[in-house]
Structure 1
Amino acid sequence: MATITSAGLGSGIDVEGLITKLMTAERAPITQIQTQESAIQTKLSAYGTLKSSLSTLSDAAKALQTKSNFSSWTANVADTAAASATVSSSASAGSYSLNVTQLAQAQKTRSAGYDSSSTTIATGTLQIDLGTLASDGTTSTFTADSTRSFSVTIDSTNNTLSGLKDAINAAKSGVTASIVNDGSKSRLVLTSDSTGASNAFKLSGLTGFDFDPAATSTSTLTSTQAAQDAEFTLDGIEVTRSSNTVSDVIDGVTLTLKSKSTADTTLTVASDTAAITTKINAFVTAYNNTVGLMASQSNYNSTTKTAGPLNGDASIRNIQSQLRSIMSGSVGSGSVSRLSDVGIQIGVDGKLTVDSTKLGKALSDPTKDVASLFATNGTTSGLADQLVTRITNMNDTGGILTSRTDGLNSTIKTMDKSIAALEARMTSIEARYRKQFTAMDATISSLNSTASYLTAQLSKL
């Protein structure tokens, strides 16, 4: 039968309590290292938060880093029913008089009515020729393009209205066929895949389905819409295009023609100062957030006597100094060389404030090169470009942020090794204490037994 033992049972001494107190004292170095490690972990976490904030600042700065970032434009057509416009970064400011006289359209023809789509039609070969329809106002001429000529065979396997539709669509000739039922009759409708006079088509060779766009009155099929180009004037210059979407007339501007103009309308292309202002304000916000974060991480509250996780850290002071140096510096020697020239002031707390009115005037003034203040201009780096470069360097190998976090991580690893070694030592020390107390307990128990025996013997005398 197993014997139940407990340290101190023989002597009546609280051996477990003594061992616990002794081990608490022995573990004091471990507790001290753990406290130090917790403080370093807090610093490491603070640096992680700072890295994230600096990354956000870098992204905001990248939106202002190059001249093209400032090439934001808007386009407006006064008569929105006549046309609309979009712009790219290659646009330039300007105002134009626009008058839409004709929209581009695709040729459409329809057949006579048939009882149904399965009605039998003639067999033969339908010739489809695409080409250009020209007119001098009285006479129309169709010129076929030999590279766009197709033939469709209709035999006993597909000589229905539906079969003809499927055969035309399978040919992928640039003409699409469909069947429209008006409730009593079915008609084959043919439409050119593209707008413009150069995408007209002529049909021949199949009885009941011939069509000449230059001689519609003698054709079997009926013209419902002639192929024609878009025509408009821009500042009095006559322009013709095959599509209603025109992107090769004004550099960087795409016009979408919608309807004929009732009168001349104005197309205006101007700098999109609102978009640029948004980018600058986003940059200011990101910068202020980073400055505020570093202030809270490194401050000391004398009232509560508490310090931020990076209080007294030389690296944080170095980063603060680098950012402040860039933002308070000057770029070039033009009319816009400092932030204050565009209404951005640096406060005593290091944060930026924006005078929206002054910034708006600077952006609207063609004599003020606001872009060069932030972006790279030849060999001169603007403030945003400098910030991106500096933050990148901080995070590179050997950079201040990388070196600092690597150093903290290295210290933590060293502490973990020390704790592991001390923990192994604690196991050995506790085992020694238990062995010593067990021996003591046995000795005292033996002495107590002897004392009890002697007492009993003496009492008999």
Structure 2
Amino acid sequence: MAVTSTTSTTGSSLDVASIVSQLMEVENKPLTKLDAKISTSNVKISTLGQFKGQLSSLKAAIDDLQTPSNFSAWSASVSNENVASAQLDNTAVAGSYQVEVSQLALPAIWHVSGFTNEAAALAWYNNASQSAVKSAADATVFRTSANQYVLSLKAKATGTSASFDLTGVANASIDQPAQDANFKLNGIDFVRSSNSVTDVLTGVTLNLKAQTAAPITLTVAQAESSARPKLDALVKAYNDLQSFYKAQTQSSADASTRGILNSDFAVSSMMRELLNGLMTPLTGTGGTALAGANDLSALGIKLQDNGQLAVDDTLFNKATTLQSRLANGLVIGYSGGKDLSTRITEMLTSGGVLQERIDNEQQVQKDLNARKTALQDKLVSVQARYTAQYAALDALLFKLNSTSTSLKSALDGLTASQKNN
């Protein structure tokens, strides 16, 4: 009996390509599952990276609140800023002062002339015999005319104590004698070698700029609060992180709507540690106990029922000492010798909970890709084997078909011969 060919134009009995393709669809199912796992791993790594970024933002907001220099308990204002300015540190106290400037501190300036080139002028300055001048003054060479150069020497500091003297030196002339600053505060005379005065008013650096035609006023007073923007930043950073966490850990029977970090114990433990840190009593620098309120309300912040933070206007307005507390150093989440910012840093760095979680997921992805490569190599061999087997079967069926056709022709010829006899 002849075997019917599926491709009569070539005499082939089988569609080898179609058969192998269908068989490979089955063989490729494990590869499809691996691709799905790799895709999920990619999403996890990306999500953990976003979590890390938002955690870094929270740390930055905490650090801002814990940096005393961000909060000056006092501010300084000068009635004429062209004459003077002032900076404060945390030891400054309130007060108003009358300032009069009769003379600014100036550096001594001399020049030595008679040089025919720049090299000669600098050689004079660098000569060992001028070591005292070199240690006291900076040098600049000016070209005054053709083949005429002048060495200008300016004292490295203002005031008579930093002056130097070239009297008796050939071709040396003085351009500006050194002088000290002369000024008054509330009518009391002061003489200082510098225009930046740090030792007259506690916690105040007074910078003299010009002489006064009339007295001006320096006022040191309680600064307006600069805490609110940084509190808002802390609240936003935590709320953004908390919202992201809730979305990425959402539980659902439907895998397509389930959060990618659902049941991720490491991430959940970090969020618990963050909340515990925020709920830990506030302390001073080094964990020193604070007098008065020391919970979130002392910052004007409250924890809402939805788990998010909010700056409460009523609480904030009641925290009248917050500015000075921050200026003196306020620490959030201090426990076991570490504040919350330090613990977040440990989560983010190598070996930390979050970084280790990311590293582990990257290793999972690496292993999956290695398995995929090995499986792909195996499938190439499987496809080649299937193709060879069914091609051989196709050739065999073709031969059987040819033999059947020849046998039929022979039988038909024999039958016809018998009928003729």
- Residue 80 in structure 1 maps to residue 37 in structure 2: no
Unmatched tracts of structure 1, length 5 or more: 1-6, 110-127, 129-149, 182-187, 212-223
**What do residues 46-95 of structure 1 show as CA deviations (whole Å, max 9, x unaligned)?**
112211221222233223335566456532212323311123x4542332
**Whose helix proportion is higher, 1 or 2?**
2
Specify the alignment match of 1:400 in structure 2.
353
Contact 2:72 2:327 in 1 (8 A): no
The offset of 1:396, in angstroms, is 5.5
Could you say if the C-alpha distance between residues 452 and 284 of structure 1 is closer, same or farther in structure 2, counting changes exceeding 3 Å? same
2:19 & 2:158 partners in 1: Cα distance?
A: 98
Specify the alignment match of 1:349 in structure 2.
306
Query: What are the within-5 Å matches in structure 2 for residues 271-350 of structure 1?
Result: 272=223, 274-299=225-250, 306-331=257-282, 334-350=291-307
Contact 2:104 2:209 in 1 (8 A): no
1:175 & 1:403 partners in 2: Cα distance?
A: 55
The offset of 1:294, in angstroms, is 1.4
Aligned letter for 2:331?
A: A
Question: Which of 168, 176, 182 is the aligned partner of 1:231?
Answer: 182
State which drifts further: 41-50 or 263-272.
263-272
The offset of 1:16, in angstroms, is 0.5
- 1:81 is paired with a residue whose SS is coil
**Whose strand proportion is higher, 1 or 2?**
1
Aligned letter for 1:78?
A: S
- 1:266 is paired with a residue whose SS is strand
2:108 & 2:231 partners in 1: Cα distance?
A: 52
Contact 1:104 1:230 in 2 (8 A): yes
Could you say if the C-alpha distance between residues 346 and 316 of structure 1 is closer, same or farther in structure 2, counting changes exceeding 3 Å? same
Q: What's the C-alpha RMSD, in Å, of the aligned pairs?
A: 4.4
Contact 1:106 1:191 in 2 (8 A): no
Specify the alignment match of 1:23 in structure 2.
24
Q: Percent identity?
A: 31
Specify the alignment match of 2:92 in structure 1.
92
State which drifts further: 35-44 or 426-435.
426-435
Specify the alignment match of 1:184 in structure 2.
none
The offset of 1:159, in angstroms, is 8.7
Q: How many residues align?
A: 386
Could you say if the C-alpha distance between residues 281 and 44 of structure 1 is closer, same or farther in structure 2, counting changes exceeding 3 Å? same
Specify the alignment match of 2:382 in structure 1.
429
Specify the alignment match of 1:269 in structure 2.
220
Aligned letter for 1:456?
A: S
- 1:250 is paired with a residue whose SS is coil
Contact 2:83 2:211 in 1 (8 A): yes
The offset of 1:20, in angstroms, is 0.9
The offset of 1:421, in angstroms, is 3.8
Structure 2 length normalisation: TM-score?
Answer: 0.73
State which drifts further: 13-22 or 72-81.
72-81
Query: What are the within-5 Å matches in structure 2 for residues 40-439 of structure 1?
Result: 40-65=41-66, 67=68, 70=71, 74-87=75-88, 89-104=89-104, 106=106, 158=114, 174=137, 193=155, 195-198=158-161, 199=163, 203-204=167-168, 227-270=178-221, 272=223, 274-299=225-250, 306-331=257-282, 334-355=291-312, 358-359=315-316, 362=319, 369-370=325-326, 374-375=330-331, 381=334, 386-395=339-348, 399-439=352-392
- Residue 441 in structure 1 maps to residue 394 in structure 2: yes
1:372 & 1:382 partners in 2: Cα distance?
A: 19
The offset of 1:314, in angstroms, is 2.9
Contact 1:73 1:91 in 2 (8 A): no
- 2:205 is paired with a residue whose SS is strand
The offset of 1:243, in angstroms, is 2.8
Specify the alignment match of 1:3 in structure 2.
none
State which drifts further: 189-198 or 241-250.
189-198
